[in-house]
Amino acid sequence: MRQFRLTRLETVISGAGAVERLSEELDRRGAMRALVATGASLGRSRLIDRVRQALGPRCAGTYAEAAQHAPAGRVRAMAAALESLRCDAVVSFGGGSVIDSAKVAVASRLNARDMTREAGALDFSKAFGARASDASAGTECLHIAIPTTLSAGAFTPGGGVTDEATRRKRAVIDPRLQPCVVIHDPELCVETPDELWVSTGIRVLDHAVETIYAKRAHPLSDALAVRAIRMTVEHLPLSLGSSPSHLEHRAECLDAAWLSLYGAFNTGLGLSHALGHQIGPAWSVPHGVTSCIALVPAMRFMADVAPQRFADIAEALRVPFEPSRARAGALACAGAVESFIARFDVPTKLCALGVPRENLYDIAEAVRVELEGFDALDRPLTLEEIRTLLRSAYE
């Protein structure tokens, strides 16, 4: 029996100048006081002025201290800003860490307590529908997301937050945390560095591939993921530089990010994501870069676990695939992705990032626990298998 549950996402607006629709979307939902949440770089950029101008008198203030991997202290400060400014909306403007920070800050406002201290495993069962606990103890807070990278964090009903002391990342999941509106405006992505743009573009492939070979794969998520792979392979290389058409290609990449992750909370995420979620905060590796490092080893491992599920991945990559030789086709898919990543100047091994080899296995148990929570693979992985994968990602 198949089941596909929808999040509370209501509207996605795509195209140059889409940010001008921001005040209309707030008006439609009766929101009057919005906090613009972003990171330090965008907080100093001329681009944030376009967001504030689009909000007009609804802009209650700006919080520009969000940081990579959503450190808990920064999230608490954002929640305090929402409270002190009496905001009924937040507009997150930036990459996945900014959007995740806003989600967890909203969770604290909704529940009238510090949700960074209640973050736990990535439990997909909490992502959908109404529950008795949806009765809010705090203040409702609308969330509109304006991504400037391809992380696709705007399309999930939960956010990660990192404990600064342990450097472990945990999740807060609640259907109310799904941004109701996402604005894809390529004109607001012009200052995103090429390395960040490319690495999060590889994360689009990561989302799509792991959605397809998950054991709970669904025809709808498969179709979206196949299209996401094709769009990324076609448009990501053309979205770089400053050619007159590069904004059009950035717009296509933004929508590919949406398609890649929209079904993932139904299917569960896989091995590359479990590795990346722990590699990132442990050694300060950006989300997208973790995909550049972990995706190909994960695909090669999955070629032995579920090779037949690579048929749609092969179709998207235009790689020959014979069901009678499924493993060979699956490995060819991994090789095609490896070749695609090699076209860009991004790290592909942990050793290149200065990760101490002697600490490589410190995250193995956390990866194992996260995989159990995902329940997206056909069998549990042993700690030794995870250590082998970490070695593959190292050098």
- Among the residue ranges 20-34, 108-122, 124-138, the one predicted with the least confidence is 124-138
Beta strands in 262-366 (DSSP E): none
Q: Categorize the per-residue pLDDT at 244 as very low, low, confident or very high, splitting at 50, 70 and 90.
A: confident
Domain boundaries, the chain: 11-188, 193-394
Q: What is the pLDDT of residues 203-222, one digit of tens each?
A: 999 999 999 999 999 999 99
Q: What is the mean pLDDT of the chain?
A: 94
Report the pLDDT value the prediction gives residue 136, as an integer from 0 to 100: 63
- Residue 178 per-residue DSSP state: S
**3 state SS of 36:** strand
309 pLDDT above the threshold of 60: yes
Average pLDDT over residues 154-166: 93
Say how far apart CA 205 and CA 230 lie, in whole Å. Answer: 9
- 279 close to 363: Cβ distance less than 8 angstroms: yes
- CB burial class (10 A; 0-12, 13-18, 19+) of residue 337? buried
Report the pLDDT value the prediction gives residue 129, as an integer from 0 to 100: 67
362 pLDDT above the threshold of 70: yes
144 pLDDT above the threshold of 90: yes
63 or 136, greater pLDDT: 63
Beta strands in the chain (DSSP E): 11-14, 34-39, 59-66, 89-94, 142-147, 158-163, 168-173, 181-184
Give the max Cα distance, the chain: 63
User: Which residues are paired to 315 by β-bridges?
Assistant: none
pTM exceeds 0.85 for this model: yes
Say how far apart CA 169 and CA 195 lie, in whole Å. Answer: 23
Task: Give one DSSP letter per residue of 222-257, joined into a string.
Answer: HHHHHHHHHHHHHHTGGGSS--TTHHHHHHHHHHHH
Handedness of CA 382, 387, 389, 390 (dihedral sign): positive
- Residue 166 per-residue DSSP state: T
373 pLDDT above the threshold of 90: no
Question: Does domain 11-188 match CATH 3.40.50.1970?
Answer: yes
Average pLDDT over residues 222-235: 98
46 pLDDT above the threshold of 50: yes
139 pLDDT above the threshold of 90: no
> Do 193-394 and 11-188 fall under one CATH topology?
no
Q: Categorize the per-residue pLDDT at 374 as very low, low, confident or very high, splitting at 50, 70 and 90.
A: confident
Q: Which CATH number fits domain 193-394: 3.40.50.1370, 3.40.50.720, 1.20.870.10, 1.20.1090.10?
A: 1.20.1090.10
Q: Closest by alpha carbon to 358, among 309, 385, 394?
A: 394
Q: Categorize the per-residue pLDDT at 243 as very low, low, confident or very high, splitting at 50, 70 and 90.
A: confident
Report the pLDDT value the prediction gives residue 1, as an integer from 0 to 100: 80
The encoded tokens of residue 160 equal 């990660």
- Among the residue ranges 134-143, 307-316, 345-354, the one predicted with the least confidence is 134-143
Say how far apart CA 123 and CA 132 lie, in whole Å. Answer: 17
200 pLDDT above the threshold of 60: yes
The encoded tokens of residue 302 equal 């999955």
Q: What is the pLDDT of residues 4-37, one digit of tens each?
A: 999 999 999 999 999 999 999 999 999 999 999 9
The encoded tokens of residue 68 equal 């990579």
- The answer for residues whose C-beta is within 8 angstroms of residue 137's C-beta and 6 or more apart is 110, 111, 112, 113
Report the pLDDT value the prediction gives residue 131, as an integer from 0 to 100: 52
